């Protein structure tokens, strides 16, 4: 995937997007903020409520807000649709996933409202079980006053707003990706075919974010032979997009129209690692992100990333990181 397609700020152009976000917040009477995959804001907070301003003004509480945003975005990506839930404060929020070619980049978060119907409110999932010690910072009477000041909406209206924003985001991201691809295509024509191949199809461990050791790095200074790179490119593109699936060596060799034995040898020579380790390294990198930024159970992470069971995931994770997933998560807190 092109580097620009992994840059959320580049895709949505935060400066130009600000007016759109403000207008949507005003039209829906909802707070809106856009965050990266870790839940870190990349835009200002449009129409943020007084309650959430207060909560986010305290670093300890704001950290929990970001974890909720990250988890909400990931769940929306998994569902491939807007995800409506209760945050750690019991407020109704929703997440709109932003993804390019299956790669989750961040989310548009909306809400900061209460649901009119108590039963409907209780039907929503609470995104985290982590307790919020809000009364350490404010007395219960002031808290209740802030809570009562939140906008009240019907769940049906919240769903309609979330669906509208989802469609708007898909359009904005789709147009941005198209412009990036067209721009890159124009550059390639100007610089010539050979230079285009070198910039766009050359695959090395740095571009793929695979942290191989020095002894495993490919030869020839990390640059790949153009012809061999083109041979492997279909498999590398497939793995990058579908690494959570069960990917076999035979299928990837077939995808590249070469024999399994030749594919295996070529893969090790160019990538500097064997096929299985390469896929696991990508999965473990994603597992690190999920362990650091979400409360998703380790068993769920294992299955979502394509591991057969949590036991094997723990074994592979410890092989690459030197500690178990639970220890890694505890150390990251």
Q: What pLDDT digit, counting tens, does each position of 248-302 carry?
A: 998 888 888 788 888 899 899 888 899 999 999 999 999 999 999 999 999 999 9
Structure-token match 């030869």, residue found: 219
Tokens of 136: 């350490």
In three-state secondary structure terms, 257 is coil
Angle in degrees, CA 84, 113, 144, rounded to 5: 130
Q: Which residues contact 98 (CB under 8 A, 6 or more apart)?
A: 8, 11, 12, 34, 73, 104, 105, 106, 107, 108, 169, 173
Residue 231's pLDDT is what? 80
pLDDT means over runs of 10, the chain (333 residues): 60 80 95 92 94 92 92 91 94 93 88 91 88 83 93 95 94 77 50 42 40 39 49 88 90 84 89 93 95 93 92 95 94 81
Residue 258's pLDDT is what? 84
Where are the domains positioned within the chain?
8-178, 226-332
CATH number of the 8-178 domain: 3.30.450
Residue 71's pLDDT is what? 92
Residue 211's pLDDT is what? 42
Q: How far apart are CA 232 and CA 205, in angstroms?
A: 14
Residue 224's pLDDT is what? 42
What's the Cα-to-Cα distance from 319 to each of 150, 184, 248, 304, rounded to whole Å? 48, 39, 21, 19
In three-state secondary structure terms, 133 is coil
Residue 33's pLDDT is what? 96
Residue 228's pLDDT is what? 56
CATH number of the 226-332 domain: 1.10.10.60
């Amino acid at each position: 995937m092109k580097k620009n397609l992994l840059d959320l700020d580049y895709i949505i152009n935060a400066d130009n997007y600000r007016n759109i976000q403000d207008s949507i917040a005003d039209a829906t009477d909802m707070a809106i903020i856009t965050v990266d995959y870790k839940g870190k804001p990349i835009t200002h907070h449009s129409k943020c409520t007084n309650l959430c301003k207060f909560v986010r003004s305290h670093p300890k509480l704001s950290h929990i807000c970001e974890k909720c945003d990250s988890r909400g975005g990931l769940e929306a990506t998994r569902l491939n649709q807007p995800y409506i839930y209760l945050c750690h404060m019991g407020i109704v929020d929703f997440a709109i996933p932003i993804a390019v070619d299956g790669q989750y980049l961040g989310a548009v978060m909306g809400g900061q409202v209460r649901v009119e119907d108590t039963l409907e409110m209780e039907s929503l999932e609470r995104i985290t079980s982590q307790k919020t010690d809000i009364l350490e910072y404010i007395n219960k009477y002031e808290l209740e006053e802030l809570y009562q000041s939140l906008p009240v909406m019907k769940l049906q209206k919240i769903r309609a707003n979330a669906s509208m924003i989802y469609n708007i985001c898909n359009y904005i991201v789709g147009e941005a990706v198209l412009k990036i691809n067209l721009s890159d295509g124009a550059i390639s024509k100007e610089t010539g075919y050979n230079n285009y191949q070198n910039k766009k199809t050359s695959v090395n461990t740095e571009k793929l974010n695979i942290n191989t050791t020095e002894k495993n790095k490919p030869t020839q200074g990390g640059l790949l032979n153009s012809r061999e790179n083109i041979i492997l490119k279909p498999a590398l593109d497939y793995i990058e997009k579908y690494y959570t699936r069960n990917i076999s060596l035979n299928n990837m060799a077939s995808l590249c129209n070469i024999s399994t034995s030749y594919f295996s040898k070529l893969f090790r020579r160019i990538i500097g690692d064997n096929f299985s380790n390469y896929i696991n390294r990508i999965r473990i990198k994603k597992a690190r992100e999920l362990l650091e930024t979400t409360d998703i159970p380790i068993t769920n992470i294992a299955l979502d990333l394509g591991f057969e069971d949590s036991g094997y995931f723990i074994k592979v994770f410890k092989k690459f990181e030197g500690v178990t997933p639970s220890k890694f998560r505890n150390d990251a807190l």
